Amino acid sequence: MSTDLTRVRNIGICAHIDAGKTTVTERILYYTGKSYKMGEVHEGTATMDFLEEEQERGITIQSAATTCPWTHNDIDYKVNLIDTPGHVDFTIEVERSLRVLDGAVAVFDGKEGVEAQSETVWRQADRYAVPRLCFINKMDKIGADFAYSFKTIQTRLGANPIAVQIPIGSADELEGIIDLLEMRAYYFDAGELGAKVEERDIPENMLEEAQEWRHNLVEKASEIDDDLMEKYIEDESAITQEEIRAALRKGTIEMLCNPVFCGSALKNVGVQRVLNGVIDYLPNPSEAPAVHGTDPRDSDTQLTRENTEDAPFSALVFKVVNDTHGDLTYARVYSGVLPRGSRVLNPGNGRKENVSRIFEMHAKDREALDQVGAGQIVALIGLKNSFTGDTICDPDDPIILEKMDFPDPVISMSIEPNTADDKKKLGEALTTIRREDPSFRTQYNEETGETIISGMGELHLEIIKNKLVRDMKVGVQVGRPRVSYRETILGDANDVRGLFKKQSGGRGQFGDAVVSVSPITAAEAEEQELKMKDGVVFVDSISGGVIPREFIPSVQTGVRNAASSGVIGGYPVINVKVELVFGSYHDVDSSQIAFEQAGALAFRQACTQAGLGLLEPIMKVEIVTPDEFFGNVSGDLSSRRGHIVESEIRNNVRVIQAEVPLSEMFGYTTVLRSMTQGRANSSMEPCEYRLMPDRLKEEVLANQ
């Protein structure tokens, strides 16, 4: 069964924590007939927040996918929808969702406008070139201000918002919305859960304001389309709704503008109009650019796949979920057709996989399909060796699609099993979680016998601990959270020799490498067109064959291994350029292992000579507090070695932007609440790594 791609939309709902993403999604499911009862986040009954942990905390932890039907202008459409988390600890969920979506609805709080995490999500969407609409939600909230929130999209995100609606009233007086294209008012019947919509004339007291917004809409739409601009100059009133809609669609898909909708998901105002907007303005899969990749047999050969069912099959795995019936592998099909029971290739690891079943997902419920074509998002069963970011494709026509970037963890803690039985279960459980969550890492410390787990924040690790204990029934004890520091060199060191020589009768081992090291940032490496991997740039400057070519990759492996295990504190060494300048070899005794060891020795000695410092993760913290507590909050931030970057009064509250070391932020939420009578809140995200003062560096190393 072939699907008409023009009638498909792959969209995500994304925003700052608490902007109302899941509530918007619940309304969409209700109005599209996918659910017959509206779930509420605050009651723990939201369909898309189906994990026990999500229902208890009232937050979204993992992205959930669903497919729902929508009829617009008497045409039936299919919307593949992903609800993403807002909390920065789960930013990876947003990242991988945006990678496979064609469009997104960015939700904003009608009172707060653009918040810290909104900016992060917006940057992620920019990175993957995802067209988006804006929905200013919570217009029923006390203090909600459409014009203010609209302006923050312009000023803080540098976007080009174009209002296609304005609200009728706000806070308790929110009654409906005015459609600026049709110049009609729409009222949503609360008794019918907003499903019954009444169309009326625009109230007289709002006519002038609506005409002003309408003029701005037409003017901005004309800037996108040259033909429309001519018509606008001649006679603005001659421009039709269809022409404005076509210009906005073109502008949205080309990332030139963002249509802005408004309403209140909780009060059931305006959600259906957003769905219409998704159909009108966001691209269908055939309008998305052809997907690019490389040939696995020759990484320099670039390949493209058109978004059609006629092209060879290719899909990207963006999520793996452990399931009672076998792992559910979520994939976006970019080209071709995949029938049930097919054999596909994972070109990244060369393994062939069997696709035994294909499901269309609705949160945790599913519907079996016989086959799936380009442009669809589905869950597959049967894949054993394909994980997030992997490509699966036609074995006769391989391609590796562009991978995703996953951020490094910023926080870690030790975890110990209670019993021998728990120890056996722990290894399997951690492997399962690691497959599901690429931002989670584990390592075993041979010296201390501890298992160290690392993640994106305190909440992230707490959720993982609860998952181990509650869902996987593994008894564990966890240590205090620890910060993931990094080491870096403070100066240069030139011509440092690493000589590895072993002789114990018979054939010996001989490797000799001379390196120079110097500090380099990622930006500098990019400028100099040098390839930085895991914070290290390796440059081969060997000439005259003093080291045979086959041993140079071994030196690089030794250098990178030594960098990842650290020099002074066991933390990875980053921002270092290593140049292999000289060396020597032995005709008989030289081997790859010997040069690996020589590279590691040279690197450690060179770094020690250059001097080593400790880098600590700095967090970008946004605090929203009543102004009367500003003194207490700023004093507390100073005591945590933080400094305030910006502070402004916004709608009767003080918004503080600060940069604070992560090590000082453990348990901050509790402290902030107690010093502001529970009236302040904060959010934080990683900012950068910065050099630690020597006194604190010695303290950290002494407590190792």
pLDDT digits (tens, 9 = 90+) for 651-663: 667 889 999 998 8
Give me the percent of the chain exceeding a pLDDT of 90: 36
Helix/strand/coil (H/E/C) assignment for every residue in 378-396: EEEECCCCCCCCCEEECCC
Q: What is the CA radius of gyration of the chain?
A: 28
For the record, the structure tokens of 567 come out as 């020099």
Average pLDDT over residues 113-136: 84
Q: 634 vs 13, which has greater pLDDT? A: 634
pLDDT digits (tens, 9 = 90+) for 457-473: 777 788 888 888 887 88
Average pLDDT over residues 67-89: 77
> Could you tell me if 345 and 393 are in contact, meaning their C-beta atoms sit under 8 angstroms apart?
yes
What is residue 355's predicted lDDT score, i.e. its pLDDT? 93
pLDDT digits (tens, 9 = 90+) for 399-415: 998 877 776 776 777 88
Q: Is the pLDDT reported for residue 88 higher than 70? A: no
> Could you tell me if 589 and 549 are in contact, meaning their C-beta atoms sit under 8 angstroms apart?
no
Average pLDDT over residues 604-609: 94
32 alpha-carbon distance from chain centroid:
27
What is residue 259's predicted lDDT score, i.e. its pLDDT? 97
Q: Is the pLDDT reported for residue 200 higher than 80? A: yes
How far, in Å, CA of 156 to CA of 453, rounded? Answer: 36
Closest C-alpha among 157, 121, 159 to residue 258:
159
Bridge-based pairing of strands 391-393 and 258-262 is unpaired
How far are the Cα atoms of 542, 551, 552 from residue 586, in angstroms, in the given order? 16, 12, 14
141 alpha-carbon distance from chain centroid:
28
What is residue 325's predicted lDDT score, i.e. its pLDDT? 64
What's the CA angle centered on 53, arms 40 and 59, to 5 degrees? 50
What is residue 536's predicted lDDT score, i.e. its pLDDT? 93
* Bridge partners, residue 83, by sequence: 13, 64
What is residue 678's predicted lDDT score, i.e. its pLDDT? 72
How many other C-beta atoms are found inside a 10 Å radius of the C-beta of residue 423? Answer: 15
What is residue 546's predicted lDDT score, i.e. its pLDDT? 86
pLDDT bracket for residue 268 (50, 70, 90): confident
Q: 493 vs 431, which has greater pLDDT? A: 493
How far, in Å, CA of 273 to CA of 73, rounded? Answer: 12
pLDDT bracket for residue 574 (50, 70, 90): very high
Query: What is the separation, in whole angstroms, between the first and last Cα of the chain?
Result: 61
Q: 325 vs 120, which has greater pLDDT? A: 120
Q: Is the pLDDT reported for residue 49 higher than 50? A: no
How far, in Å, CA of 655 to CA of 185, rounded? Answer: 35
How far, in Å, CA of 114 to CA of 622, rounded? Answer: 12
How far, in Å, CA of 257 to CA of 132, rounded? Answer: 8
How far, in Å, CA of 47 to CA of 149, rounded? Answer: 29
Q: Is the pLDDT reported for residue 214 higher than 90? A: yes
For the record, the structure tokens of 654 come out as 């003080």
How far, in Å, CA of 321 to CA of 433, rounded? Answer: 9
DSSP string computed for 47-75: SS--SHHHHHHTS--S-EEEEEEEEETTE
pLDDT bracket for residue 89 (50, 70, 90): low
What's the CA angle centered on 92, arms 338 and 479, to 5 degrees? 130
Going by C-beta distance under 8 Å and a sequence separation of 6 or more, which residues neighbour residue 642?
621, 658, 659, 660, 661, 664
Closest C-alpha among 534, 668, 513 to residue 594:
513
98 alpha-carbon distance from chain centroid:
7
pLDDT digits (tens, 9 = 90+) for 607-641: 999 999 999 989 888 888 888 889 999 999 999 99
What is residue 15's predicted lDDT score, i.e. its pLDDT? 77
How far, in Å, CA of 624 to CA of 461, rounded? Answer: 25
What is residue 238's predicted lDDT score, i.e. its pLDDT? 82
Q: Is the pLDDT reported for residue 175 higher than 80? A: yes
605 alpha-carbon distance from chain centroid:
38
* Bridge partners, residue 650, by sequence: 653
DSSP H or E run through 637: helix 630-639
Q: 445 vs 555, which has greater pLDDT? A: 555
How far, in Å, CA of 585 to CA of 583, rounded? Answer: 7
Bridge-based pairing of strands 482-483 and 486-489 is unpaired
What is residue 53's predicted lDDT score, i.e. its pLDDT? 46
Residue position matching structure tokens 């080209």: 335
Average pLDDT over residues 238-247: 90
Residue 580 exposure: Cα atoms within 13 Å on the Cβ side: 32
What is residue 444's predicted lDDT score, i.e. its pLDDT? 76
* Helix (H), strand (E) counts: the chain: 17, 39
How many other C-beta atoms are found inside a 10 Å radius of the C-beta of residue 308? Answer: 17
For the record, the structure tokens of 145 come out as 């201000």
Helix/strand/coil (H/E/C) assignment for every residue in 508-572: CEEEEEEEEEEECCHHHHHHCCCCEECCEEEEECCCCCCCCHHHHHHHHHHHHHHHHHCCCCCCC
What's the CA angle centered on 293, arms 291 and 297, to 5 degrees? 150
- Residue 245 backbone phi and psi in degrees, to 5: -60, -45
What is residue 560's predicted lDDT score, i.e. its pLDDT? 94
Q: Domains plus CATH for the chain?
A: 5-287 (3.40.50.300), 291-401 (2.40.30.10), 411-484 (3.30.70.870), 491-610 (3.30.230.10), 615-702 (3.30.70.240)
pTM of the model: 0.69
What is residue 243's predicted lDDT score, i.e. its pLDDT? 92
Q: Is the pLDDT reported for residue 47 higher than 50? A: no
Q: 507 vs 186, which has greater pLDDT? A: 186
